[in-house]
């Protein structure tokens, strides 16, 4: 890093923040932090476009914490001073964790609450009544709390952050966000953080910022080829399983890997397929409760699993974002039991991911960037492999165009082996595929939901079980959707699974 780069200790930060930064092991600010923190400390509104994984969260969190610490020296009254809006619950959880880490030495002075989770409004009310200094939430959640008078913001709010601003509208938050902004007082410092600057960000800029400083860092939206290697492999649907097996088995793809598929069924199909070869993987999809999703991400980050198979359903089920080729905006409803505020390709900080595999081709350029941005983060190296069928070659060209910028070189290079070279493995894969029946997928899907519910202590509510008069676990699975899992406490064995509201049970098609 160049010697003339500004360092954290030259920014005039509170000692408690400095200690937390030291604990995180951050020797230097990233480029966006170096530029944004001094401007934010000066009170400027900021529009920051920096590529995914460049440390945008701390770029606003550090000055916010510093500002709150400074104001607490003179004003003792407790109030919500900063609001951070995020598009997904996973991101809410992650932003909250980052704030917790940065406030490790001043947690009493800077209280942070994440209300993006699925708990009832009434359960979150006491948290908001304590007036945490920083509230993190999705626009719809915050609006609902304002409507329920669980929190007031207009008098006390000093700062507003819109994180992953390019995604908020595409997650269907446009009207909530506008409603929310209308309710807020217009005098606050505002931050728009985004990996891309699209029309939605421009629209938000008009709505939210006052004479902002615009920071457009790095021309390219993904790290260059010295940090991130991007490859495409041409293969048809029937060969994808063979290909992924070969890549893993031959060690061509090593270490932590994130595999993106486009539907829940496919993530279980691939998981079961890999299990045939003793390759364990965990799954992540919108059907799992949010606590379970955060738990899985945490376990992956802690090294419990090497492979995650994640769905990137948002752009598929609800294409309100610019879709490649068609460029249409529409509103398809999402599947029953799915969480509209699910989004693991967006902004989630999976740690030390060495590889991203696009098993199913991403449907938008943004989706490609956000998926691939899960690797090569914070200066680490990474590889992205994208499977492309002959029908997707035009889409690939569109992604190449979008990533090329001024550069004449293609961002994605063809991967250096041919399908013919792995023919020898085909018979093994065929056998494994045969055992992954529809029924097996259904069962795995249900088992996973059950297991994750049981793992998640917070979801358990003790109640009397009618059939056996012993213990029962009543679990809130998703908004308006309930699953009653009945257990005999003595044996600890699941006795059955019953729907409470037959029409709305997310597992209805599995039962």
- Does residue number 198 form part of the binding site for ligand ATP (CB under 6 A)? no
**Which residues of 70-188 form beta strands (DSSP E)?**
82-85, 112-114, 134-137, 159-162
Q: Between 50 and 228, whose beta carbon lies closer to ligand ATP?
A: 50
Distances in Å between the alpha carbon of 494 and those of 54, 113, 441, 444, 497?
45, 35, 19, 15, 8
- Does residue number 89 form part of the binding site for ligand ATP (CB under 6 A)? no
- Does residue number 373 form part of the binding site for ligand ATP (CB under 6 A)? yes
- Does residue number 298 form part of the binding site for ligand ATP (CB under 6 A)? no
Q: Between 50 and 209, whose beta carbon lies closer to ligand ATP?
A: 50
SS3 448: helix
Q: Between 91 and 274, whose beta carbon lies closer to ligand ATP?
A: 91
Give 87's DSSP letter. S
Selected binder of ligand ATP within 378, 397, 461, 511 (CB under 6 A): 378
Selected binder of ligand ATP within 166, 312, 318, 349 (CB under 6 A): 349
- Does residue number 55 form part of the binding site for ligand ATP (CB under 6 A)? yes
Using the contact rule CB under 6 A, the part of the chain among 22-30, 146-154, 202-210, 463-471 near ligand ATP is: 22-30
Selected binder of ligand ATP within 45, 48, 54, 310 (CB under 6 A): 54
Using the contact rule CB under 6 A, the part of the chain among 56-64, 261-269, 468-476, 495-503 near ligand ATP is: 56-64
Q: From the CB of 94, what's the least distance to ligand ATP, in Å?
A: 7
- Does residue number 170 form part of the binding site for ligand ATP (CB under 6 A)? no
SS3 19: helix
Selected binder of ligand ATP within 29, 87, 92, 343 (CB under 6 A): 29
Q: Between 55 and 223, whose beta carbon lies closer to ligand ATP?
A: 55
d(CA 82, CA 100): 15
The residue among 172, 203, 138, 195 whose CA lies nearest residue 365 is: 195
- Does residue number 57 form part of the binding site for ligand ATP (CB under 6 A)? yes
Residue 389 · residue 358 · CB < 8 Å:
no
Selected binder of ligand ATP within 56, 145, 240, 363 (CB under 6 A): 56
Using the contact rule CB under 6 A, the part of the chain among 133-141, 218-226, 372-380, 395-403 near ligand ATP is: 372-380
Alpha helices by DSSP H, listed for 130-194, are 139-147, 165-168, 174-183
SS3 407: coil
- Does residue number 319 form part of the binding site for ligand ATP (CB under 6 A)? no
Return all residues near 285 (Cβ < 8 A) that are at least 6 apart.
264, 267, 310, 311, 313, 342
- Does residue number 30 form part of the binding site for ligand ATP (CB under 6 A)? yes
Selected binder of ligand ATP within 128, 192, 195, 477 (CB under 6 A): 195
Edge-to-edge strand order for the sheet containing 46-49? 112-114, 134-137, 82-85, 159-162, 189-194, 46-49, 213-216
SS (H, E, C) 198-260: CHHHHHHHHHHCCCCEEEECCCCCCCCCCCEEEEEEECCHHHHHHHHHHHHHCCCCCCCEEEE
- Does residue number 58 form part of the binding site for ligand ATP (CB under 6 A)? yes
Provide the β-strand partners of residue 84: 136, 161
Provide the β-strand partners of residue 460: none
- Does residue number 26 form part of the binding site for ligand ATP (CB under 6 A)? yes
- Does residue number 506 form part of the binding site for ligand ATP (CB under 6 A)? no
Q: From the CB of 351, what's the least distance to ligand ATP, in Å?
A: 6
């Amino acid at each position: 890093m160049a010697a003339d780069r500004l360092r954290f200790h030259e920014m005039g930060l509170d000692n408690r923040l400095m200690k937390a930064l030291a604990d995180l092991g951050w020797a230097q600010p990233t480029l966006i932090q170096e530029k944004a923190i001094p401007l934010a400390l000066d009170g400027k509104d900021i529009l920051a476009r920096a590529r995914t994984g460049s440390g945008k969260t701390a770029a606003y969190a550090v000055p916010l914490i510093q500002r709150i610490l400074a104001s607490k020296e003179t004003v003792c009254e407790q109030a919500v001073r900063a609001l951070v809006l995020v598009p997904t619950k996973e991101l809410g959880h992650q932003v909250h964790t980052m704030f917790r880490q940065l406030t490790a030495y001043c947690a009493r002075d800077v209280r942070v609450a994440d209300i993006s989770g699925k708990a009832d409004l009434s359960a979150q009310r006491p948290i908001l009544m304590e007036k945490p200094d920083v509230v993190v939430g999705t626009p719809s959640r915050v609006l609902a709390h304002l409507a329920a008078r669980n929190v007031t913001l207009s008098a006390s709010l000093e700062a507003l952050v819109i994180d992953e601003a390019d995604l908020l509208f595409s997650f269907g938050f446009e009207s909530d966000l506008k409603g929310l902004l209308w309710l807020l007082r217009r005098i606050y410092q505002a931050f728009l953080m985004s990996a891309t600057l699209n029309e939605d960000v421009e629209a938000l800029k008009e709505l939210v910022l006052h004479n902002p400083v615009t920071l457009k860092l790095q021309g390219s939206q993904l790290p260059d080829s010295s940090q991130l290697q991007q490859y495409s492999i041409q293969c048809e649907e029937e060969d994808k399983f063979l290909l992924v097996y070969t890549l893993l088995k031959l060690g061509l793809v090593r270490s932590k890997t994130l595999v993106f598929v486009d539907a829940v069924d496919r993530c279980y199909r691939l998981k079961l397929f890999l299990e045939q070869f003793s390759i364990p993987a965990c799954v992540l999809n919108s059907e799992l409760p949010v606590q379970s999703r955060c738990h899985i991400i945490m376990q992956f980050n802690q090294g419990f699993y090497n492979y995650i198979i994640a769905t990137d359903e948002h752009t598929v089920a609800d294409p309100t974002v610019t879709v490649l080729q068609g460029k249409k905006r529409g509103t398809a409803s999402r599947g029953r039991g799915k969480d509209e505020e699910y989004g693991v390709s967006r902004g989630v900080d999976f740690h030390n991911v060495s590889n991203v595999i696009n098993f199913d081709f991403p449907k938008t350029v943004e989706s490609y960037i956000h998926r691939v941005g899960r690797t090569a983060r914070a200066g680490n190296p990474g590889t992205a492999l994208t499977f492309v069928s002959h029908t997707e070659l035009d889409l690939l060209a569109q992604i190449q165009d979008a990533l090329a910028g001024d550069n004449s070189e293609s961002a994605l290079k063809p991967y250096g082996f041919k399908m013919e070279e792995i023919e020898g493995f085909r018979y093994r894969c065929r056998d494994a595929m045969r055992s992954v029946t529809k029924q097996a997928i259904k069962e795995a899907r249900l088992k996973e939901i059950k297991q994750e519910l049981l793992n998640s202590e917070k979801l358990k509510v003790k109640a009397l079980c009618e059939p056996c008069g012993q213990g029962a676990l009543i679990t809130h699975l998703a908004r308006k959707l309930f699953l009653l899992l009945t257990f005999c406490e003595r044996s600890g064995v699941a006795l059955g699974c019953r729907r409470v509201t037959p029409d709305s049970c997310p597992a209805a098609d599995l039962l």
